[in-house]
Amino acid sequence: MRFSSCYIPTLKETPAEAEVASHKLLLRAGMVRKLTSGVYIYLPLGLRAIDNVARVVREEMNAAGFQELLMPSVIPGDLWKETGRWEHYGKELLRFKDRNDRDYCLGPTHEEVITDLVRGEVRSYRQLPVRLYQIQSKFRDEIRPRFGLMRGREFVMKDGYSFDVDDAAADASYAIMYDAYMRIFQRLGLRFRAVEADTGSIGGNFSHEFMVLADTGEDTIAACTSCHYAANVERAEVVWKGTPCTTGCSPYEQVATPGAHSVEEVSAMLGVAPERVVKTMLFTVDGKHVAVLVRGDREVNDIKLKNLLKAQDVQLASGEVVEALTHAPVGFAGPVGLDVPIYADAELQGATDYVTGANAADAHLLHVDLARDAVVTAYADLRAITAADCCPRCGAPIELPKGIEVGHIFKLGTKYSDAMHAVFLDENGKERVMIMGCYGIGVSRVVAAAIEQNNDENGIIFPPQIAPVQCILLNLDPGKEDVSAKADEIHDLLEEQGVSVLLDDREERPGVKFKDADLIGAPMQLIVGGKGLARGIVECKDRRTGEKGELPLATLPEALAAWMETVRQGWQARMA
């Protein structure tokens, strides 16, 4: 490829609309352009990056025994009405009518379409498993599209689906996908974690999110520093390390704490450390009220509460509810005499000599012994994990890195096959419902996430597998015939070696070419100029490390191959 004949409209200035690195750099590097809110045109270089991700995904999906098909993006509303999602999906579903006034939607996901396909074709257990996937543009009408390809409304997604005879077979499909996803993200050269995700009402360990690690990520992961354990902080288990306190304490007494609502205010006023204060939070769970107790320096994890109570809806109780239950303004709730079910974090089991709210205005209690003075319905893991906690599997320290979700695998069970009556006859001729799984990768989002993870002040630093071009070749003296001839020769040599290359043959100053090369982010740069040729060398630069070197013209093919291998190995080593 030659820069002079390519459509690569790089920008010197960062467009004001862009907030995050990937959005800024994709615009500046001439890889995407906004058509309308959350909807982007993928320009040639951007499309090459997306295609590179799609190619790796496709190869690994095929190797895992999934077959590619392509479903329409226009979906009849009737299918979505069968599963109830037409009512429940909300405004993210873009709906419209055809000329005959029939309902349609633009597919954000394709469970209904694929279930409709399979139920019409599969009759016998002999035809299962069915394992299919597609790579396609999806549409989700986000309320606040932002961050460019990170949270667009239209995006390229790989969605795969499996249909199995029973739970064990469905688990096998799931395991195959888990392994394929591990290979995909390793091959793409990204630092990532497979993270146990919350499955909400379905339950069980049947959902993993694949997170690209990046400081700008919106999700926080609890990741072990030693073993493979990683979980979304929403579900990370907390193993309580302490021992119950059995010393006992004197009877509790009420003290005045005027105006002290928060743990910090109470702890300062009474001269007691926050970890000696019990925080009492009131929640409304499916319309009923409960209290949750955690140590003053901890936070309640309401997803754990929701799962513990097998609830649909968990909300912090309103101010009116708190006042009615505690006979005091918000900030003075406590477990003693509180007439609602009380759930306490496991860490508080055996807690004695704690400070709690007094259920009276401007008052707290000293010397509370939970077992003696309150009625606790159950102790359970109810708090959010912190960096001071340890791995629930191996006990090693954990860290809390930020991540960007790029993949999600999910054992669906019979949610769709039940609703849509996708059944088969087993070996005894008995009708049974198929067990489903679904497996997504945000293909265009992977490109954005790769940039969030790999960039510097000069531009993008693409991993070799994703880079739109692996090598950018700068001709510093396009006016000189011998330099241009050598640049052409190296260009052809690289293509012969199967290395994608962009030859910057533009009539531009070297400074402009260096800037664009860094911005576009090809992992390898080669620089050909009159001065170097006179010395019998071309210069090379590893975009990731910034390391520069010289390759002798005399043995160029071998020297080039060896240097490129070093660059690739550097990327691999970084993964470990």
Q: Which stretch binds Zn ion (CB under 5 A): 60-68, 106-114, 171-179, 224-232?
A: 224-232
CA–CA gap between residue 160 and residue 184 (Å, rounded): 14
Q: Is 162 exposed, middle or buried (0-12, 13-18, 19+ CB in 10 A)?
A: buried
Instruction: In angstroms, give the least distance from the CB of 228 to Zn ion.
Output: 7
Instruction: In angstroms, give the least distance from the CB of 225 to Zn ion.
Output: 8
Number of residues that bind Zn ion (CB under 5 A): 8
385 binds Zn ion (CB under 5 A): no
- Please report, as residue ranges, which positions from 409 to 468 form the binding site for Zn ion (by CB under 5 A): none
Q: Closest CB to Zn ion among 392 and 570?
A: 392
Of the candidates 202, 173, 412, 432, the one whose C-alpha atom is nearest the C-alpha of residue 306 is 202
Q: Closest CB to Zn ion among 393 and 574?
A: 393
DSSP-assigned letter for residue 261: -
List C-alpha distances in Å: 14 to 29, 92, 144, 330, 448.
10, 30, 21, 47, 16
CA–CA gap between residue 104 and residue 563 (Å, rounded): 54
Of the candidates 525, 504, 528, the one whose C-alpha atom is nearest the C-alpha of residue 4 is 504
Q: Closest CB to Zn ion among 34 and 393?
A: 393
List C-alpha distances in Å: 2 to 459, 488, 504, 516, 539.
21, 10, 6, 14, 19
Relative orientation angle of helices 443-453 and 44-63, to the nearest 10 degrees: 110
Helix then strand then coil, % of the chain, to nearest 5? 30, 30, 40
Element spanning 230, H or E: strand 230-232
Structure tokens belonging to residue 262: 């928060």
Instruction: In angstroms, give the least distance from the CB of 390 to Zn ion.
Output: 8
DSSP-assigned letter for residue 251: P
Among 206, 229, 354, 571, binds Zn ion (CB under 5 A): 229
Instruction: In angstroms, give the least distance from the CB of 220 to Zn ion.
Output: 17
283 binds Zn ion (CB under 5 A): no
Instruction: In angstroms, give the least distance from the CB of 193 to Zn ion.
Output: 12
224 binds Zn ion (CB under 5 A): yes
Could you identify the residue written with the tokens 């497996």?
A: 439
Instruction: In angstroms, give the least distance from the CB of 398 to Zn ion.
Output: 7
Instruction: In angstroms, give the least distance from the CB of 28 to Zn ion.
Output: 40
Q: Closest CB to Zn ion among 29 and 224?
A: 224
Instruction: In angstroms, give the least distance from the CB of 230 to Zn ion.
Output: 9
Q: Which stretch binds Zn ion (CB under 5 A): 24-32, 220-228, 335-343, 456-464?
A: 220-228
Task: Judge whether 462 and 454 are in contact, CB under 8 Å.
Answer: yes
Among 39, 69, 227, 485, binds Zn ion (CB under 5 A): 227
Q: Are strands 288-295 and 342-345 parallel, antiparallel or unpaired?
A: parallel
Among 285, 338, 342, 391, binds Zn ion (CB under 5 A): 391
Quick one: how many helices (H) and strands (E) in the chain? 16, 32
Among 74, 202, 324, 394, binds Zn ion (CB under 5 A): 394
Could you identify the residue written with the tokens 């400070």?
A: 355
Instruction: In angstroms, give the least distance from the CB of 236 to Zn ion.
Output: 11
Instruction: In angstroms, give the least distance from the CB of 295 to Zn ion.
Output: 23
Q: Which stretch binds Zn ion (CB under 5 A): 152-160, 192-200, 338-346, 385-393?
A: 385-393
Instruction: In angstroms, give the least distance from the CB of 171 to Zn ion.
Output: 23
Q: Which stretch binds Zn ion (CB under 5 A): 98-106, 227-235, 473-481, 505-513?
A: 227-235
Task: Judge whether 351 and 298 are in contact, CB under 8 Å.
Answer: no
Range 352-375 burial, b when 16+ CB lie within 10 A, else e:
bbbbbbbbbbbbbbbbbbbeebbe
Q: Closest CB to Zn ion among 229 and 332?
A: 229
Q: Closest CB to Zn ion among 41 and 394?
A: 394
Q: Are strands 67-68 and 130-139 parallel, antiparallel or unpaired?
A: parallel
Q: Closest CB to Zn ion among 289 and 393?
A: 393
393 binds Zn ion (CB under 5 A): yes
Of the candidates 543, 466, 483, 505, the one whose C-alpha atom is nearest the C-alpha of residue 186 is 466
Q: Closest CB to Zn ion among 47 and 224?
A: 224
C-alpha dihedral sign at 144, 148, 151, 152: positive
Residue 140, amino acid: R
Q: Closest CB to Zn ion among 228 and 327?
A: 228
Site string for Zn ion, 346-375 (x = CB under 5 A): ------------------------------
Q: Which stretch binds Zn ion (CB under 5 A): 209-217, 387-395, 471-479, 504-512?
A: 387-395
Q: Closest CB to Zn ion among 231 and 436?
A: 231
176 binds Zn ion (CB under 5 A): no
Instruction: In angstroms, give the least distance from the CB of 224 to Zn ion.
Output: 3
Task: Judge whether 1 and 501 are in contact, CB under 8 Å.
Answer: yes
Task: Judge whether 488 and 477 are in contact, CB under 8 Å.
Answer: no
Instruction: In angstroms, give the least distance from the CB of 391 to Zn ion.
Output: 3
Cβ neighbours of 171 (radius 10 Å): 17
Q: Which stretch binds Zn ion (CB under 5 A): 107-115, 213-221, 222-230, 374-382?
A: 222-230
Interface residues with Zn ion (CB under 5 A) are 224, 226-227, 229, 391, 393-394, 396
